[in-house]
Structure 1
Amino acid sequence: MRPIVLVGVICLFLGSVGCGARTVSATDDSGAAAARMREVAKAWEGSAAARSWREGFYPLEDMVRLPDNAFRTEADKRAYLTRNFEHRGAFPRTGREGRIRWADGTSRRVTPMTAQQAYDQFNEGPEDRAALLTVTKAAFGEMTLLTSRGEARVPAWHFTLDGYDTPLVRAAIDPARLPRAPIAALSQATDAGMPLQGLRKVAEDGRNVTVLAGHGACDDGPAVEVLETRDSVVLHATVRGGSDSPCTAQLLSDPVTVHLDRPLGGRILLDAFTGGPVALVGGRR
């Protein structure tokens, strides 16, 4: 089994969804992959890391919400993707406190970031005057996000963009630091086991989870197996159709959607390779 060299260009084929998903039974004794998935699930059961995950703020969707009908032009889209913004006037200063309010009725007091700090999370411009988005106003408010503990209302800044009727919204807090996994990561990525590249999306019904999975340039793409337990969902990424033939050293990433037998809910989404949670792609934008 040849190792995958994790260097080179990362290509995200965002328009296609992989179909390489297989469910592994909790009692499946076939192969090292199933054994590793069970080990990871067992290590997290009742662990301090699991308690930290249940108590923390971990978004499962993008903390930036785009204006309705974004984007009007290709230039506006390019400006957003290249983080090319400017703002007119001074941002409001705020010393106000905020709360995260989960749907189960629990809440936590937090200190929101300022408008300037939130703006800096998605802006690096202005550099290209031909593709530029202009912020004309910032207002403090809230937004609803899907988190590891279900839906939550969180403090957010609403940025008015020139030419748009609805604002660009960015959460005014960052995710908690991911807990340290209670089990060591595997030492080498191969066709039989690859680290996931991150979480792309959890469907509204919680039954479909899309992740980015890596593979090389000379294979048939990634596949993802899933083991569901009461407390966790463990994903194991592999590469289909690998060979020992010479190939360029690069890592490609494809989205793969995994169907769950029941909604993800408050269960921890884990990567069998790293032994830790699957982090949201762009979760700290």
Structure 2
Amino acid sequence: MHSAGNPLLLLKKEDSMHTYAKRLASLLLAPLLSTFLLVGCGNDQNADDVHAKSQSPREQKERARQVADAWKGSTAAAAWNRGYYPMADVIQKPESGWRTAADQRAYETENFVLHGNLPTTATVHGKVDWGNGKTLPRPLWGAEKAYQSFARNRSEGPRLTVTGARLGTTTIMTSRGRASVPAWLFTLEGYDTPLKRVAVTPSKLPSSPIGQARQGAAGSLKHVARLVGTAMNGRSITVNATHGACDDGPVVKVLETGESVVLYASAAGSRSGPCNAEMIGQSVKVQLRKPLGDRILLDALSGRPVPHGEPGGLSPSWT
């Protein structure tokens, strides 16, 4: 029996071909549909990123308020107010300054040589004295450890020569105001005044009562990395804030309370187009309504105190 003359066989044959075509179409369309869905998800994510980057300064200020409120009256704030945290260089240059550019270069590159002996001392504790009846005992560094903290280079370039050291005192700005602290006074060849290195260790940094802001939240806050310096009257501070390679630089705003000064930073003038992920540090001067005093300086993004010092500098901070 021939199929050409049998309607039932023709119908079955057509049904079979129709089913085959449907299956083939589904196989061909599935990858395209998956690709379309993936592209759609990617576009949605990009839209979220754009939205996160365009959030208002109000959210940044709100985050700063949350950080201030979290620290107010906290166990961390109490520990901070009892501790010793240097807010200035723990290595102090000779009072006369550097005689030559070569000597300054030697200091900046940590290129020192020791001609002589450093004292060994049995004293294991020193005392931080704020001059108002408040003191704090702290472990004391030995002369050798203090020397190694700034003499970490042995190159052939310009060098400074240390000929000896003795234990004395110096004055340094701290989180609780100016204090007198033990220091190693290193004699330098060719200088009448010594290079001073604070000899007492900072207190342990308390755990923050608030965590870091979630990525993309709080109006795309940037990091306030370091406190570079404080004006003599305390009414302005200079900080190192980060920003990206495709913007016009950092903008640092401040929320002041009676207990804290919270800095919240962002980037100005973000530009579209290809951009690398490089983070750049830049110094920014911030004016305060009243002197910083013993108020704690906080970073809104991290929720933690802002450390002192330049990144990679000679004076390690309490962090």
Counterparts of 2:223 and 2:258, CA distance in 1: 23
Q: Which structure has more helix as a fraction of its residues? A: 2
2:21 match: none
Normalised TM-score (structure 1)? 0.86
2:65 pairs, out of 35, 38, 47, with: 38
For the 8 Å contact 1:174–1:284, the answer to whether it is kept is no
1:102 match: 130
What letter matches 1:51 in structure 2? A
Counterparts of 2:268 and 2:96, CA distance in 1: 38
Q: Deviations over 1:55-81 (max 9, x none)?
A: 111111111110134322222122111
Runs of 4+ in 1 over 4 A off after TM superposition: none
What SS does structure 1 have at the residue aligned with 2:148? helix
1:16 match: none
What SS does structure 2 have at the residue aligned with 1:159? strand
Larger radius of gyration: 2
Counterparts of 2:118 and 2:284, CA distance in 1: 40
Deviation at 1:116, TM superposition (A): 0.5
* Higher alpha-carbon deviation: 131-140 or 93-102: 93-102
Gaps of 5+ in 1: 4-28
What SS does structure 1 have at the residue aligned with 2:278? coil
For the 8 Å contact 1:103–1:150, the answer to whether it is kept is no
What SS does structure 2 have at the residue aligned with 1:80? helix
Q: Deviations over 1:175-215 (max 9, x none)?
A: 22222110010132688311111110111211111110111
What SS does structure 2 have at the residue aligned with 1:39? helix
What SS does structure 2 have at the residue aligned with 1:237? strand
Q: Deviations over 1:222-281 (max 9, x none)?
A: 010100001000000110001232123311111111111111111100000000100112
Counterparts of 2:293 and 2:130, CA distance in 1: 13
The 5 Å alignment of 1:191-270 reads 192-270=220-298
1:177 match: 204
Deviation at 1:30, TM superposition (A): 6.5
Counterparts of 1:117 and 1:171, CA distance in 2: 11
CA shift in 2, pair 1:132/1:2, >3 Å = farther
What SS does structure 2 have at the residue aligned with 1:158? strand
What letter matches 2:195 in structure 1? L
For the 8 Å contact 1:101–1:107, the answer to whether it is kept is yes
RMSD: 2.0
User: Aligned pair 1:120/2:139, yes or no?
Assistant: no
What letter matches 1:186 in structure 2? A
2:194 pairs, out of 156, 163, 167, with: 167
For the 8 Å contact 1:269–1:278, the answer to whether it is kept is yes
What letter matches 1:170 in structure 2? R
User: Share of identical aligned residues, percent?
Assistant: 44
Aligned length: 259
2:316 match: 284
1:18 match: none
1:20 match: none
For the 8 Å contact 2:126–2:200, the answer to whether it is kept is no
What letter matches 2:65 in structure 1? R
Q: Which has the higher contact order (CA 8 A, sep 6+)?
A: 1
1:52 match: 79
2:301 match: 273
CA shift in 2, pair 1:2/1:61, >3 Å = farther
Gaps of 5+ in 2: 1-48
For the 8 Å contact 1:206–1:264, the answer to whether it is kept is yes
Counterparts of 1:153 and 1:197, CA distance in 2: 27
Q: Deviations over 1:105-143 (max 9, x none)?
A: 211223311111111111112222x31111011011000
For the 8 Å contact 1:189–1:195, the answer to whether it is kept is no
What letter matches 1:178 in structure 2? L
Deviation at 1:218, TM superposition (A): 2.2
What letter matches 1:137 in structure 2? G
